[in-house]
């Protein structure tokens, strides 16, 4: 293109490559992750680096760890702090020693780590691929625009954020890798989605979730010391999946059962860590796992229900 042409402006956007971001559909996020590893040719010779905060349950297994086991890859963990931040010193150390093929960064509950860009850059400097696990961060990415674009690939879990029975997406961020994209299109795990996120007002959903999180932040103020927020602010662009609190005023498990019994749908992510994350080696992760309770912020919450839930909480602690 000569200089004169480069300075021209077309009447409309016709370049199919500009800011293209394609998504390939899978039954769920874990299958999208597995398909990406297959397409990359990850094998038992490769190591995958993971945060040392990964849960499992008898019903669902482990959405992050199971694909790695199924692929047969090796794995190692980097430490997370009690407030669920990357222990960046440990991350750098393990990255240098383990020489992994890829590293998984999880934007837990829709909050990207404050050091996430640094973590991606450090991995890329060592030619390590980065997966952004956005099973909880679909709206922080699509609406907030604060994550999902600097890693090599991103996975989404549609059924976690929308009223769908299933659905996962994989987005390759490095569009120069045409052969990888083509391999993914041949993936036996790929599927068509019967439900479209475009049938929902994603902006309004994100707005509702943010408003609910802000309301909770305020409502639990009087309970501080017994129930403390894992995040004390809601940065621009963050759209929470759930709103995590740390329970110290009573047994977390008792609170969990009592609240659910009274009709308030709370979860604990993650109440049980995978066996490979040993308490002796990762005490901070286990400390958090025993105390975390995730309060709902989703778009279906009726007016007044959060107040009622926090009143129950206050009585219970």
Ligand X SMILES: Cc1ncc(COP(=O)(O)O)c(C=O)c1O
Site residues, ligand X (CB under 6 A): 28-30, 60, 63-64, 106, 133, 135-136, 157, 168
| In the complex, minimum distance from the CB of residue 107 to ligand X, in angstroms, rounded to a whole number | 8
Residues in CB range of 218: below 8 A, 6 or more apart: none
Closest residue to ligand X: CB criterion: 63
CA distances from 267 to 62, 247, 255, 301 (A): 15, 13, 10, 15
Comparison of 137 and 143: residue with beta carbon closer to ligand X: 137
| In the complex, minimum distance from the CB of residue 64 to ligand X, in angstroms, rounded to a whole number | 5
| In the complex, minimum distance from the CB of residue 51 to ligand X, in angstroms, rounded to a whole number | 9
Burial of 224 (0-12, 13-18, 19+ CB in 10 A): exposed
| In the complex, minimum distance from the CB of residue 31 to ligand X, in angstroms, rounded to a whole number | 7
| In the complex, minimum distance from the CB of residue 14 to ligand X, in angstroms, rounded to a whole number | 35
Closest CA to 95 of 67, 128, 73, 53: 128
Q: Is residue 263 within a helix (H) or strand (E), and if so which, with residue range?
A: none
| In the complex, minimum distance from the CB of residue 300 to ligand X, in angstroms, rounded to a whole number | 19
Is the preceding peptide bond at 270 cis, omega within 30 degrees of 0? Answer: yes
Q: Residue 214 and residue 219: Cα distance in Å, rounded?
A: 9
Comparison of 73 and 313: residue with beta carbon closer to ligand X: 73
DSSP for 199-255 reads GS-HHHHHHHHHHHHHHHHHHTGGGTTTEEES-S---TT---SEEEEEE-SS-HHHH
86 secondary structure, DSSP code = B
Residues in CB range of 72: below 8 A, 6 or more apart: 43, 44
Comparison of 108 and 264: residue with beta carbon closer to ligand X: 108
Comparison of 50 and 128: residue with beta carbon closer to ligand X: 50
| In the complex, minimum distance from the CB of residue 16 to ligand X, in angstroms, rounded to a whole number | 29
Comparison of 34 and 291: residue with beta carbon closer to ligand X: 34
CB 251 within 8 A of CB 258: no
Comparison of 34 and 252: residue with beta carbon closer to ligand X: 34
Comparison of 108 and 310: residue with beta carbon closer to ligand X: 108
């Amino acid at each position: 293109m000569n200089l004169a042409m480069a300075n021209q402006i077309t009447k409309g956007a016709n370049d199919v490559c500009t800011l293209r971001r394609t998504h390939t559909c899978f039954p769920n996020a874990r299958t999208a992750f597995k398909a990406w590893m297959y397409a990359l040719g990850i094998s038992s010779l490769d190591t995958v680096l993971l945060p040392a905060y990964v849960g499992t349950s008898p019903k669902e297994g482990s959405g992050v760890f199971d694909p790695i086991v199924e692929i047969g890859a090796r794995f190692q963990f980097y430490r997370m702090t009690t407030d669920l931040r990357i222990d960046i010193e440990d991350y750098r150390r393990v990255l240098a020693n383990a020489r992994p093929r890829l590293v998984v960064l999880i934007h837990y509950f829709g909050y990207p780590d404050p050091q996430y860009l640094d973590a991606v850059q450090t991995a890329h400097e060592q030619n390590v691929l980065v997966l952004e696990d956005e099973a909880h961060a679909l709206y922080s990415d699509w609406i907030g625009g604060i994550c999902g674009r600097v890693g090599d690939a991103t996975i989404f879990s549609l059924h976690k954020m929308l009223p769908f029975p299933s659905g996962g997406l994989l987005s390759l961020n490095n569009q120069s890798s045409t052969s990888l994209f083509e391999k993914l299109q041949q993936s036996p795990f790929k599927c068509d989605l019967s439900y479209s996120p475009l049938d929902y007002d994603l902006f309004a959903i994100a707005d509702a979730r943010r408003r609910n999180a802000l309301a909770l932040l305020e409502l639990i103020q009087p309970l501080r010391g017994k129930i403390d927020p894992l995040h004390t602010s809601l940065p621009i662009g963050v759209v929470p999946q759930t709103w995590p609190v740390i329970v110290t005023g009573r047994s977390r498990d008792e609170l969990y059962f009592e609240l659910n019994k009274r009709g308030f749908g709370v979860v604990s992510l993650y109440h049980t860590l995978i066996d490979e994350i040993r308490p002796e080696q990762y005490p901070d992760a286990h400390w958090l796992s025993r105390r975390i309770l995730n309060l709902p912020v989703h778009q279906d919450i009726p007016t007044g229900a959060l107040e009622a839930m926090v009143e129950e909480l206050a009585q219970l602690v």
